[in-house]
Amino acid sequence: MSILSRPYFHDEEAAFQHLEAVLWPEGPVCPHCGNVDPDRIKKIAANPAKRVRYGLHRCNDCGKQFTVKVGTVFEHGRIPLHKFLQAVHLMACSKKGISAHQLHRILEVQYRTAWFLCHRIREAMRDGSLGPLGGANKVVEADETFVGGKAKNRAYVPPPKKVPVFSLVERQGKVSSRRVDDVTAATLGKAIENIADRQSHLMTDEAPTYKGIGKEFAGHSSVNHSADELCPPWRLRSHEHG
């Protein structure tokens, strides 16, 4: 049986039961006062006709109502939980990623709803760390590329302008990519300023753009892509700054 055919992806009550089993394996927890006594938490039967939500609980200690969605990425969303779970599964399991347009078609929701789902789920996937990439004895690789359509794909109109995108990669670590206005030393230097730790060893290609930037780091190495040179261990070609 396909994973997406499971009941909690298609039935709202089953979706709440699934999420409760994952987040509350030992029983409901009141997010308002922290009460975990099952005898002091009452589950209210769902009644759509009277606008009683699925998965609604009432804590007898603080008198407040809540569902398992409180404090999670699913909170405050008007989207049915079972569709939200489908979106999470599709985004987490798609090897090449999935666009808002694809979710719009698969989930049969409006495009703006799919766009909201994509942004909220991606934000939830962040690890919460806002610290710089790299650090002492770590290597950060930098490179830029141009993203855009090809002329052969647009027979009757001019090809779209390519957009420069700059990326920093911490070896065996995190990645940070962003669109930039151009690939000059001033622009790339500013892009690096708040991303990479200056104690890192910077690895780039031999573009003159990076020569001045590399002097701000603990070390700087480069490779020659035109000569099909592979990226070596940084200690072999490091230009340490004493």
Q: Is residue 17 a contact partner of residue 85, using CB atoms and an 8 Å limit? A: no
Mean pLDDT of 216-220: 90
**Residue 132 is assigned to a structural domain of this protein:** no
77 shares a domain with 10: yes
Share of residues in the chain with pLDDT > 70 (%): 85
13 shares a domain with 86: yes
pLDDT tens track for 1-28: 578 889 999 999 999 999 999 999 999 9
Q: Rounded distance, CA 114 to CA 111, Å? A: 5
- Range of 184's domain? 139-240
50 shares a domain with 151: no
Q: Is residue 7 a contact partner of residue 14, using CB atoms and an 8 Å limit? A: yes
Final residue belonging to a domain, choices 60, 91, 124: 124
- Measured in whole angstroms, the distance separating CA 128 from the mean position of its chain's CA atoms is 10
**Residue 109 is assigned to a structural domain of this protein:** yes
Task: Give the count of domains, the chain.
Answer: 2
Q: What is the CA radius of gyration of the chain?
A: 25
pLDDT tens track for 190-208: 888 778 889 999 999 888 8
38 shares a domain with 10: yes
Residues 6+ apart with CB under 8 A from 56: 43, 44, 46, 65, 66, 67
169 shares a domain with 114: no
Distances (CA, A) of 193 to 198, 207, 216: 9, 18, 10
150 shares a domain with 85: no
Average pLDDT, the chain: 84
90 shares a domain with 28: yes
Tokens of 103: 């979710």
| Per-residue confidence (pLDDT) for residue 237, from 0 to 100 | 42
Distances (CA, A) of 34 to 38, 64, 138: 12, 11, 42
Q: Rounded distance, CA 206 to CA 216, Å? A: 16
Instruction: Give me the CATH number covering residue 232.
Output: 3.30.420
